[in-house]
């Protein structure tokens, strides 16, 4: 079964996404927001690492012994455990096996990041490949505007997950350049009637889909 377990409950706002090794960028984005909305301290401990209770000893600071922890220390230490538990519950068995030796939520997050996004060299290679795909992007003769846009957004989202972003203006112009020659009159009308530097992407796609309906009705 393809992509089983991407989410524990599709479109749920109260359950975390379940990661089974596929679509890491998608899972990471959803999990980040889920953790922040659940309790921002959970996200903070993933970003900065766990709280380590310290005490002054002579002229330096040393870590407190377990017997020296007060209620505040225990509460702050437990945040890391809660974050780890949340991440554990969001991973399939295979992914859990990758990180089960990690001692902190930050270590878990970083291990997943390195495993699924790769080193900087691998990351740059992926970006280069996707940029090339973006530059060569064209609407196929047998696909609808919706299908074309879905393919386009998939490339944009993959690039975004790797840190490569395009402005709305750049994407609008790219789509207009990707439309087949038989759409040339419609493209010209849009270019003359709209300020492409301010044209929202969804407005462009809506206009193209409306034109597509008109074309199909006249066939």
Report pLDDT digits (tens) over 10-50. 444 456 678 988 888 889 999 999 999 989 999 999 999 99
Distances (CA, A) of 100 to 28, 109, 119, 156: 18, 12, 21, 33
CA distance 136 to 199: 23
pLDDT (tens digit per residue) in 129-143: 999 999 999 999 889
CA distance 219 to 217: 6
Is pLDDT of 200 > 80?
A: yes
For the CA atoms of 115, 120, 123, 127, the dihedral, rounded to the nearest 10 degrees, stands at 170
Is pLDDT of 174 > 80?
A: yes
pLDDT (tens digit per residue) in 95-106: 999 999 999 999
Mean of all residue pLDDT scores within the chain: 88
pTM over 0.85: no
Domain ranges in the chain are 24-117, 120-217
Contacts of 6 (CB under 8 A, 6+ apart): 17, 18, 19, 20, 22, 23, 26, 27
């Amino acid at each position: 079964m393809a992509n089983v377990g991407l989410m524990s409950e599709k479109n749920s706002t109260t359950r975390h996404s379940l990661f089974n090794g596929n679509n890491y960028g998608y899972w990471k984005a959803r999990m980040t927001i889920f953790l922040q909305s659940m309790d921002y301290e959970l996200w903070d401990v993933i970003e900065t690492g766990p709280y380590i209770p310290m005490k002054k000893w002579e002229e330096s600071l040393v870590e407190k012994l377990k017997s020296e922890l007060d209620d505040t220390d225990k509460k702050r230490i437990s945040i890391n455990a809660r974050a780890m538990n949340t991440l554990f519950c969001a991973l399939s068995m295979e992914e859990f096996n990758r990180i089960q030796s990690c001692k902190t939520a930050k270590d878990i997050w970083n291990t997943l990041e390195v495993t699924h996004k790769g080193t900087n060299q691998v990351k740059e290679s992926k970006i280069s490949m996707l940029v090339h795909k973006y530059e060569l992007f064209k609407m196929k003769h047998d696909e609808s505007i919706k299908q074309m846009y879905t393919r386009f957004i998939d490339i944009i989202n993959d690039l975004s997950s790797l840190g490569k972003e395009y402005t709305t203006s750049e994407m609008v112009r790219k789509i207009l350049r990707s439309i087949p020659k038989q759409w040339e009159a419609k493209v010209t009308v849009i270019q003359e009637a709209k300020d492409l530097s301010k044209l929202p992407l969804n407005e462009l796609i809506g206009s193209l889909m409306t034109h597509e309906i008109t074309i199909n009705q006249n066939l």
